[in-house]
Amino acid sequence: MRISNVLKTALAPLVAFASAQTIEQTLTAALPAGKAYNLSTLQSLITESSLGKDEFTRVGGLLGGGTVFAPTDASFAATVALNGGNPIPFVAQVLLYHISTKLVDTAYLQANKLSFIPTLLGNNSLASVPSQVIKVEANLPNVTVSGLIPVEVIDTIVASNGVIHVVDGVLLPPSNVSTILTNLNALNDATLSFKQLASALDSQNLTTIVNTASPITIFAPTDSAFFAVANAVPAATLTKMLKSVLTYHVIGDAVAYQPSSGSYKTLQGESITVVNSGGSIKINGSNASFLSSGAIVVLSNGVVHVIDTVLVPPTIAASLGSNTLAPASPSGTTKAPAAGASSTGAAAPPTAKPGNAARSVAGTAAGILGAVAAAVLVLA
């Protein structure tokens, strides 16, 4: 998805230059000379697609400011190539996913290292309820924005009525959790492997629920977290408690992108207590930690937070004598997969590190465009 590193290093770091023109004028006029990218594909999509142009005009005009993420020509070309040379499906909807009525300018990025901004893509267009969000991670001068996959801001143009962030990839709308887990598992990255979770959800007939319930927040323990449970709890016990354990990882009535401290009722019925100290998030009572902001994945129906521990509901914990199961030791712990989970031949549990591999949550090329089609079909 990324433009070549060569091009990337040739680009100046995020330097905003102010334009006297509106967002729409800037995007429909010739770019200033000397830019190391072109926006002609986006420009022609805006002019060709009445939906696109209307929405760009609305952001700039009616709403008095906003943000447009503008993929370069190379980004569009890469996405078309991923799609076997075919046009990007549902391109008007994909364009709407690049527009926000929220002003994400430099001041905003300085104040918000991690944020989730609504876009015009939703089932109710401008009312934007529910609207699809984009994750924005600012580590200035670097800014990463993620839909289904992360892309980087390579230039910023301040327009008279908002801001344009030029990005090195097309922002693809998010998908459901099955697709995300499948794509991550296909990467075979040991620190971000969810084969146990995926098959455990299947075995308990919960996959459809987590894919369709909305809004939803899912805490996703890594494989190594599941291996720790398999080592600590007899398989028969585990099988019996699996459905309760899994549903205890789901908040079924809210999207908590950045959960504030407090108590959240889970689908299992009991609550989890979140302790958020300055963005470092733990689940009180279990000591489970959220992994880095890179391991927060937006879904079409909510959000996934990757965690390093399997959460055990208090009532079950009482019977087991513990409500957390410490991370697996680095070696010799591949004893058994989680009960009910098929043996997927997962690699030995890694010494899980937050890492930023979720940045490559892109997954397989094949999955991406199918996921876009599925996501926008649901939203259309």
Ligand X SMILES: *[C@@H]1O[C@H](CO)[C@@H](O)[C@H](O)[C@H]1NC(C)=O
Collect all residues with Cβ–Cβ distance below 8 Å to 312 and sequence separation of at least 6: 241, 245, 248, 286, 320, 322, 323, 324, 325
Interface pattern 281-310 for ligand X (x via CB under 6 A): ---xxxx-----------------------
Smallest gap from residue 243 Cβ to ligand X (A): 6
> Does the footprint of ligand X cover residue 193 (CB under 6 A)?
no
Which DSSP state fits 192? G
- Structural tokens at position 116: 């989730």
d(CA 273, CA 253): 16
> Does the footprint of ligand X cover residue 280 (CB under 6 A)?
no
Question: Helix or strand or coil: residue 51?
Answer: helix
Q: Between 175 and 247, name the residue whose CB sits nearer to ligand X.
A: 175
- Structural tokens at position 209: 């629920």
Q: Residues 178, 276, 333, 364: which binds ligand X (CB under 6 A)?
A: 178
- Write down how long the chain is: 380
| H or E, element range at 164 | strand 162-167
Using the rule CB under 6 A, give the single segment among 50-58, 172-180, 190-198, 229-237 that binds ligand X.
172-180
Name residues contacting ligand X, limited to 236-255 (CB under 6 A).
none
**How is the chain split among helix, strand and coil, in percent rounded to 5?**
35, 25, 40
Q: Residues 110, 208, 343, 351: which binds ligand X (CB under 6 A)?
A: 208
Determine the size of the site formed for ligand X (CB under 6 A): 29
Smallest gap from residue 61 Cβ to ligand X (A): 26
Q: Which of 85, 79, 102, 92 is nearest to 47 (CA)?
A: 92
Burial call 134-154: b when 16+ CB within 10 Å, e when fewer: bbbbbeeeebbbbbbbbbbbb
> Does the footprint of ligand X cover residue 37 (CB under 6 A)?
yes
Residue closest to ligand X when measured from CB atoms: 211
Smallest gap from residue 306 Cβ to ligand X (A): 19
> Does the footprint of ligand X cover residue 36 (CB under 6 A)?
yes
- Structural tokens at position 338: 């989680």
> Does the footprint of ligand X cover residue 212 (CB under 6 A)?
yes
> Does the footprint of ligand X cover residue 26 (CB under 6 A)?
no
Q: How do strand 150-159 and strand 250-251 relate by DSSP bridges?
A: unpaired
> Which segments of 250-291 are extended strands (E)?
250-251, 262-265, 271-277, 280-284, 288-289
Interface pattern 105-134 for ligand X (x via CB under 6 A): ------------------x-----xx----
> Does the footprint of ligand X cover residue 354 (CB under 6 A)?
no
Using the rule CB under 6 A, give the single segment among 44-52, 175-183, 328-336, 342-350 that binds ligand X.
175-183
Alpha carbons within 13 angstroms on the beta-carbon side of residue 247 total: 18
Q: Which residues bind ligand X (CB under 6 A)?
A: 36-38, 123, 129-130, 139, 142, 175-176, 178-179, 204-205, 208, 211-212, 273, 275, 284-287, 323-324, 370-371, 374, 378
